[in-house]
Structure formats: C-alpha cells, structure tokens
Structure 1
Amino acid sequence: MQAPGLVATDVDGTLLDPAEHVSPRNAAAVRQVVASGVPFVLVTGRPQRWIPPVSAELPQVRLAVCANGGLLYDAVEDRVLWDQAMPVPLLAELADAALATIPGCGLAVERVGGSVRGPSPFLAEPGYRNAWPEAVGAIVDRADLLAEPAVKLLVREPGLLSDAMVAALAPVIGGAADITFSHSRGLVEISAPGVTKASGLAEVAAKLGVPAAEVLAFGDMPNDLEMLQWAGHGVAMANAHPALQAVADEVTASNAEDGVALVLERWF
C-alpha cells in the first residue's frame, strides 16, 4: 500500500495499551499522521462518553465513530454529528428474539445522547451485570428500556462465551440487525441492519473524499471485522481474535508492543 489517505483505528486492545493508555510511541505516530494532513479517525464500540479519556491523550484527534458505527462524535465540539439509531419496534423485536434464544439473559441499551457532560444514555434492566464498571446508567424496567430508539442493544449472559451467543442469535435475527461483539465473555452488541464500523467509517471517508482503497485500518475484535475487510489495508493486532487475523492484510505486533505505531512509522 502507498501512503494512506486516511488512518482509522479501533481503541481498546488496539490503539490503547493493556493499561488503557496511548503509549508514547503510538501517540507520537498519531501526531505525525495528523501533522501530515492525513485524517485520523477513532472507530470504536465505545459510546461517546468514553471518548474523553482518549481525547485527553490525543487532543489532535477530532472524529470518533462510536457504538460500532452507530454514531459519529466530534470530540472537539463535544457533539454527535449523526446517528443510526434503531427504532422502537425493531428494538422490541430484537429483545424478544434475544430472550427467547438465551433465556435469563440481561438487556441494556445505548441511546444516542449528546454532550458527554449530559445524562448517561446507557440504560439497563434490573439484574443486568455490566461487563465494564464504567457502564453506569439508569436502571429501568424493560418497557422503559425499549421505549426510545437506541444505537445499540446489549445482550448479557456472563455464563456463556460471546462467540456462542452470536452463533445462537445470528440465525434467529437474520438480516433484521447487525450482531457482533468486542468482549469475549457473554456480551453481544446489536445494531441497526447494515450498521457496522465499516459503514460508519465509509460515511466519514466519503465526506472527506477518501476512497476505501486508500484507507488504513487497525483492529482486534470481531466488531472490527467488516472495517478491516472494507479498508484498502486492514491490519490485525497480534492479540486479535483469530477471525480478524484470518482476513487481515497484515498482522502487526500486539497493543502492548506498539503495533499501531510499527505500521504507521512506514509512512509518517
């Protein structure tokens, strides 16, 4: 690949080290990308309220495709630029399918929200066991949980592996929604049909006038799969899920070994 026209990267397990920080070497590589005039975009399963800790270490990065392609967040202006929320009838249909397929599972949603300083758009039903302690939001009954559009429906069953949950749910859900995961232990993330990190990044790239062939993308988990396949050069981390390593154009070092910087330093 020649010098990329746009660089996109997943956050957790990819850009961030195991301590959830941007290493000095990765930070320096990102600064070089931005200084060269090449757009640098975060593409993550995180909601926008979890972007500020990353922005604090990379203040020069403006755009973040969040919620697996569900919305685009401007970290400088602290506002959502667009979203792809699921309507209420679809949420109800998906919730019914999840509960019938995985009895006893817990449900939660990420709504669109706005400023990261506003109320948390994360809501969970009683008994939902968070995969991350940072996922603090309102506890509501199921009717209220599903009463408004949401960019993600989360299905949680800590006693199962996420791979197994996807295998069970995918045939039931079919093309009604997009289903993936970024946490291996019992957490599935469901988005509107066709909404993936690839679709979100493609919209950003189109607005910037950058063709897919000129996009360099990094990732480590199944929610990065479509993005790595769509990009002109998809890079999986050494710590990536086997499914990503199987489709990537390249496998770099792990997130503990500055794998992102090792690739970026070829051109920047």
Structure 2
Amino acid sequence: MDFRLVATDMDGTLLNSHHEVPEKFWDLLEHMRAKNIAFAPASGRQLATLQKQFERAGEPISFIAENGTVVVHNGEIISLTTIDSDIVHSIIDTVRASDIDMGVVVCRPECAYVERNDEAFRTEGLKYYVSLKEVTDLHEVVNGEVIKVAIFTFQDAEKDCAPIIRAASPNANVVVSGQHWVDVMDPAANKGQALAKLRDALGLEESETLVFGDYLNDTELIQAAGKSYAMSNAHPDILAIADEIAPSNKEEGVITVLAKLLGSN
C-alpha cells in the first residue's frame, strides 16, 4: 500500500516491555519524514504525556490523545470532544458508592484530576497523566470542559469495572482501554473518528492510512484505516478484525513492520 499516515496506539503496541518508545523508532521517524509520511500516536494517554514522550521528535508531530477526544495537528488542537457533565457526576458518585476497588481520573485538555490519594492509585495514574492534580472533590472540577473520565481498578476492568460504569453512563461511549482501565467519553468520540479528522486535515484518503493497535479502545481506529495491524499480544476481538498480525510489542513489532514497509530493515 502507498500509505501517507501512520497512527499507532502506545501501551501494548508501540511501547516496549519497559513502557518506552523503542530506540529504533527515532530513525524510522526520520525515514518517514523523508518520504513525506505523517506520524501520530493514537492513545488513551493524556496529550501532555504524549508530548513529553515525543519531545525527541524535534519538529511537531500530530497527536490523537485521550482516546480520540483531542486531536492536535501543526501544534494546534483541531478537534476537541467534551462529555456531558451529568455523566461525569454520575460516574464519580457510582465509583464512590461501589464495593469494587476503583479510582476516577477526570480529564480536561490541560490537566487530569483525582481525589483518591493513596500511593498505589497515584502511581498508576502518573504512568499516563504527567499533568495530574489532586483535589478534595472531583465534582468541583466538572466545568463543561471534561473530555474523558478514566476509571482505574486493581481488579479486572472488563469483567468487574466496565459493567458498573456502563450502567452509570448508558448514553456514553464506555471502552475498556487496558486490563485495569475503563474510559468514558462522548458517544461521538473514539480513535477512529479522530483518525478521520486528522486524515482530512492532511488531505489524505482512508486508503492512505496505516494503523497499529492492541486493545478494545483501538476497535474504531482499526476499522477506519486503509491497512491495520493487530499486535500478536492483542485482545482477541482486535486480532479478529485487523488485516494483519504484527509481532508483539515486547518484540517491537511496530518497528519490525514499519522497517519492512519502508525498506529500511
């Protein structure tokens, strides 16, 4: 395929077993730039977190952050999708009242907020949210600018957490984004629609997009691409819909596939 845009999930996909961008990626990024191929991480992670992870990229790259609720191109936000405040309040109350061990992260474009302050929870939150602030009451930060609510559980997100959150927010887009994370967004928000907005900004066709993913929050991303790869470590549902299977993230599968496609291996 003649691809002009590469979008890849981060955790379980591009990031290696040390949760780092593989060293070999940076040479590939320069190779893509030389071929006029755009690159964008497409992640559930916070925009500030992604920007920090890609500081080494030098010139600006595009970002699909917070599971598609924030899209950045040429250094500017070109798409921002907020979630209804009533849904956010409902989730906060539901988590507080639940017997399941959960914690809430309320995400706004510039910062994420938590009220739970135990070290174990904050350690998990800081992995994905470098701009993280503790507040006394999460209800007070719900101001119409919330783009996502992330719920972390030390239990099984898909089995134990997601059903409770779906019941509390039946009109929202509730996705399991990891083994211990559930993300809640506006029904219109997902990585696939974000990819389409970025593609339009670049003046590209769907057939010119190449994507990589591994978990359920990558479903629409894979469906919106011209060519899609699921990592071999991907969720079974993602393996079932992707065009091809890449080696696992621990084997740096994104790097392997891109190097082959770019003729740089």
Q: Residues 72-115 of structure 1, C-alpha deviation per residue, up to 9 Å, x if partnerless?
A: 235x74x53431111323422444566677766432201112xx
Counterpart in the other structure of 2:184? 190
Would the alpha carbon gap of residues 106 and 206 (structure 1) be closer, same or farther in structure 2, given more than 3 Å must change? same
CA distance in 1, matches of 2:251, 2:100: 40
CA distance in 2, matches of 1:173, 1:88: 11
Which of 138, 158, 164 is the equivalent residue of 1:163? 158
Counterpart in the other structure of 2:133? 137
CA distance in 1, matches of 2:69, 2:210: 21
| Alpha-carbon contact 2:68-2:189 (below 8 Å) kept | yes
Give how far 1:22 is off: 2.5
Give how far 1:168 is off: 4.2
| 1:62 maps onto 2:56 in alignment | no
Which of 220, 236, 254 is the equivalent residue of 1:226? 220
| 1:28 maps onto 2:22 in alignment | no
Counterpart in the other structure of 2:77? 80
Is the deviation greater in 162-171 or in 237-246? 162-171
Counterpart in the other structure of 2:207? 213
Which residue identity lines up with residue 215 of structure 2 in the other structure?
Answer: M
| Alpha-carbon contact 2:113-2:138 (below 8 Å) kept | no
Q: Residues 196-249 of structure 1, C-alpha deviation per residue, up to 9 Å, x if partnerless?
A: 111111111112121222211001121111101221111111222222112111
CA distance in 1, matches of 2:59, 2:15: 16
What secondary structure is seen at the aligned counterpart in 2 of 1:32? helix
CA distance in 2, matches of 1:58, 1:222: 28
Would the alpha carbon gap of residues 238 and 66 (structure 1) be closer, same or farther in structure 2, given more than 3 Å must change? same
Q: TM-score, normalised by structure 1?
A: 0.84
Q: Residues 117-176 of structure 1, C-alpha deviation per residue, up to 9 Å, x if partnerless?
A: xxxx11112357342334431223132143443111122332x211112244335533x1
CA distance in 1, matches of 2:16, 2:68: 23
Q: TM-score, normalised by structure 2?
A: 0.85
| Alpha-carbon contact 1:205-1:212 (below 8 Å) kept | yes
CA distance in 1, matches of 2:218, 2:58: 24
Counterpart in the other structure of 1:126? 116
CA distance in 1, matches of 2:60, 2:179: 28
| 1:200 maps onto 2:197 in alignment | no
| Alpha-carbon contact 1:125-1:145 (below 8 Å) kept | no
| 1:110 maps onto 2:107 in alignment | yes
Q: Residues 19-40 of structure 1, C-alpha deviation per residue, up to 9 Å, x if partnerless?
A: 2332233322222112100211
Which residue identity lines up with residue 47 of structure 1 in the other structure?
Answer: Q
Unaligned runs of 5+ in 1: 114-120
Identity of aligned pairs, percent? 24
CA distance in 1, matches of 2:50, 2:173: 23
Would the alpha carbon gap of residues 173 and 100 (structure 1) be closer, same or farther in structure 2, given more than 3 Å must change? farther
| Alpha-carbon contact 2:113-2:135 (below 8 Å) kept | yes
CA distance in 2, matches of 1:61, 1:250: 29
Which residue identity lines up with residue 46 of structure 1 in the other structure?
Answer: R
Would the alpha carbon gap of residues 171 and 132 (structure 1) be closer, same or farther in structure 2, given more than 3 Å must change? closer
Counterpart in the other structure of 1:5? 4
| 1:236 maps onto 2:230 in alignment | yes
Which residue identity lines up with residue 125 of structure 1 in the other structure?
Answer: E
Q: Residues 49-78 of structure 1, C-alpha deviation per residue, up to 9 Å, x if partnerless?
A: 11233213333451111000011235x74x
Which residue identity lines up with residue 88 of structure 1 in the other structure?
Answer: S
Query: In the comparison of the two structures, how many residue pairs are matched?
Result: 255
Counterpart in the other structure of 2:45? 46
